[in-house]
Amino acid sequence: MMPIDPPLGDMTGKPSVKVKASAHSHAEEQSFETEILEIHGQPLCVGRRTGNGSSPPLLLFNGIGGNIELLGPIARWMPGRELIIFDVPGVGRSPLPVLPYRLRTIASLGAGVLDHYGHQQADVLGVSWGGGAAQQFARSQANRCRRLILCATAPGVLMVPGHPGVILKMATPRRYANKRYAKSISGDIYGGDFRRDPGLADEHFKHVKWQSRLGYYLQLAAMAGWTSLHWLYQLRQPTLVMAGSDDPIVPLTNAQVMAWLIPHSELKVFDCGHLFLLTRAEEACGAITEFLDKP
């Protein structure tokens, strides 16, 4: 676990800022500014890129083991829109939680982060594991979710599973701790562009901030037994379901089922794999912006 000083709260109970830093050193990228907030008693590393105020903020939920910096390309290709993201407890620079948590807890933390910045409502995007958190947010914080974007994700345990060999590789965080291993298996687990260019693993995982195996396993435990399949039809938010046609982790059928179940939804398929949001960032962000800007 990386050492981190807990923030000091004020007498009003409002989260206070302890640390602020840029998540990227590359001047050409519009970076997230990060700060440590205490939300419901849990210190969180929160990333924010302020926008021009013309649209609601976009709250991002990352994939399993993913820290803020991994979604940096989104900040680059969505200028003018406020983006908010946080490392879940035990990942990146957010310390481990005192107790295990469920996806409802992550949704509640997301709502607390919006409270801190004074937002009553946001658009919500979830990637892979974060797609489960985004679905839960849209259900348990329904009034705070204007529109929903689900990327390379599934309805929980009741999903069409990927290849058993891929699932076994995903059951361990070794790819985050060992860059050589990550490169050797990237094509097998992420598919799409990674099959053609394994070197993409070096590019997209150079910003990994590895913390602990326990943080990764807590994320797996949070998803255990969870499914949205029986209530997706109740979601009322306009929803964009995005998927890769060559996704070994979350086969395309899952996106097709979700788009069919969610009433006000549309499906966008990319000729890519699980991480199309990174390898096809310009195209993906263009589709997201078009969806969010619809009347």
Q: How far is CA 54 from the centre of its chain?
A: 23
| Three-state secondary structure of 62-74 | CCCCCCHHHHHHH
Q: What is the pLDDT of residues 75-90, one digit of tens each?
A: 889 989 999 999 999 9
In a domain, 230, yes or no: yes
Share of the chain above pLDDT 90, in %: 77
Domain CATH code at residue 149: 3.40.50.1820
Q: What is the pLDDT of residues 94-127, one digit of tens each?
A: 999 999 999 999 999 999 999 999 999 999 999 9
Q: Does the active-site annotation cover 212?
A: no
Q: Which tokens hold the place of 67?
A: 């820290």
Q: Which tokens hold the place of 96?
A: 């481990």
In a domain, 9, yes or no: no
In a domain, 6, yes or no: no
CA 187/CA 182 separation, integer angstroms: 9
Which one from 128, 186, 228, 265 is the annotated catalytic residue? 128
- What was the pLDDT predicted at 31? 81
CA 141/CA 137 separation, integer angstroms: 5
Q: What value does the mean pLDDT of the chain take?
A: 89
Q: Residue 198: is its pLDDT beyond 90?
A: no
In a domain, 97, yes or no: yes
Q: Residue 24: is its pLDDT beyond 70?
A: no
DSSP state of 60: E
Higher-pLDDT residue of 251, 179 = 251
In a domain, 14, yes or no: no
Total structural domains in the chain? 1
Find the domain containing 88 and state its range: 20-292
Q: Residue 285: is its pLDDT beyond 50?
A: yes
Describe the strand order of the beta sheet including 42-49 as a list of residue ranges.
20-22, 33-39, 42-49, 83-86, 58-61, 122-127, 145-151, 239-244, 265-270
pLDDT band at 43 (very low <50, low <70, confident <90, very high): very high
Q: Which tokens hold the place of 274?
A: 């699980």
- What was the pLDDT predicted at 275? 95
- What was the pLDDT predicted at 11? 29
Q: What is the pLDDT of residues 229-265, one digit of tens each?
A: 999 999 999 999 999 999 999 999 999 999 999 999 9
